[in-house]
Chain A
Amino acid sequence: IAGITQAPTSQILAAGRRMTLRCTQDMRHNAMYWYRQDLGLGLRLIHYSNTAGTTGKGEVPDGYSVSRANTDDFPLTLASAVPSQTSVYFCASSEGLAGTDTQYFGPGTRLTVL
């Protein structure tokens, strides 16, 4: 593994189903982030984690949850998917606790909720 990986690459999901998007980094970065990207809008922060064991809410956290049990993994869970959660989801990480660190992005997960 080099950098950040995300799984699955794409997924079609029925509304009401539970879904976990996986994110793993091998750079030993402290901070990790989940964004969604929708056409015509900027990236929007869903949740973040400054270090293993801690998480925080971003701009659009409703309907999503995260956990950070260790440094490498940062899964995002949709408890009961709705069509408005159709989007491309990017996981990112940065080295330190300062927000000035460059964020490195995974390849993204394209999620469609029907």
Chain B
Amino acid sequence: GQNIDQPTEMTATEGAIVQINCTYQTSGFNGLFWYQQHAGEAPTFLSYNVLDGLEEKGRFSSFLSRSKGYSYLLLKELQMKDSASYLCAVLDSNYQLIWGAGTKLIIKP
């Protein structure tokens, strides 16, 4: 079966750095997405990785290791508005997105 694993919940302090991990086992791989979802709102796109390595975009970075079936999202200089759920999703061999359950990130002052 196909499986995406992420921690259910994480807590971090404003101004700090947090790393949210995602491991996957899917039938094929055509890329990995990270989305942000604030409570009661729609998911919004953060990043897309298809090659190994680190992609940096402002305060957010995403890393991929295809051989390990592993990705992480790194958030720097945390702000209160970063409190949200972060969804990892993998594009499988049929080009359908398989979604993890999401990691709820709580930021404390």
The interface of chain A, by Cβ under 8 A from chain B, is 40-45, 48, 58-59, 90, 98-100, 102-108
Q: List the B side residues contacting A59 at CB < 8 Å.
A: 96
A43/B43 contact (C-beta < 8 A), A100-B31, A100-B48 known: yes
A4 CB to nearest B CB, Å: 8
B44 touches A99 (CB 8 A): no
CB nearest neighbor in B for A107: B42
Question: Which residue of B4, B30, B31, B44 contacts A42 across the interface (Cβ within 8 Å)?
Answer: B4
A99 touches B45 (CB 8 A): no
Question: Which residue of A98, A100, A106 contacts B42 across the interface (Cβ within 8 Å)?
Answer: A106
B103 CB to nearest A CB, Å: 11
B101 touches A40 (CB 8 A): yes
Q: List the B side residues contacting A104 at CB < 8 Å.
A: 45
Interface residue B98 (Cβ < 8 Å from any Cβ of A) = yes
Q: List the A side residues contacting B101 at CB < 8 Å.
A: 40-42
Q: List the B side residues contacting A40 at CB < 8 Å.
A: 101
A43 touches B87 (CB 8 A): yes
Question: Which residue of A41, A42, A45, A102 contacts B96 across the interface (Cβ within 8 Å)?
Answer: A45
A42 touches B87 (CB 8 A): yes
Bound-complex Cα distance A44 to B2 (A): 12
B96 touches A99 (CB 8 A): yes
B52 CB to nearest A CB, Å: 16
CB nearest neighbor in B for A38: B101
- The CB with the most chain B CB atoms within 10 A, among A40, A59, A99, is that of A99
B27 CB to nearest A CB, Å: 13
A107 touches B41 (CB 8 A): yes
A42 touches B98 (CB 8 A): yes
> In the complex, which residues 83-109 of chain B have their Cβ closer than 8 Å to any Cβ of chain A?
87, 89, 91, 95-102
B32 CB to nearest A CB, Å: 11
Q: List the B side residues contacting A99 at CB < 8 Å.
A: 30, 91, 95-97
Q: List the A side residues contacting B44 at CB < 8 Å.
A: 105
20 more CB-based (< 8 A) A-B contacts, given A42-B87, A100-B30? A40-B101, A42-B89, A42-B98, A42-B100, A42-B101, A42-B102, A43-B43, A43-B89, A43-B99, A45-B97, A58-B96, A59-B96, A90-B43, A99-B30, A100-B48, A100-B91, A102-B33, A103-B97, A105-B43, A108-B41
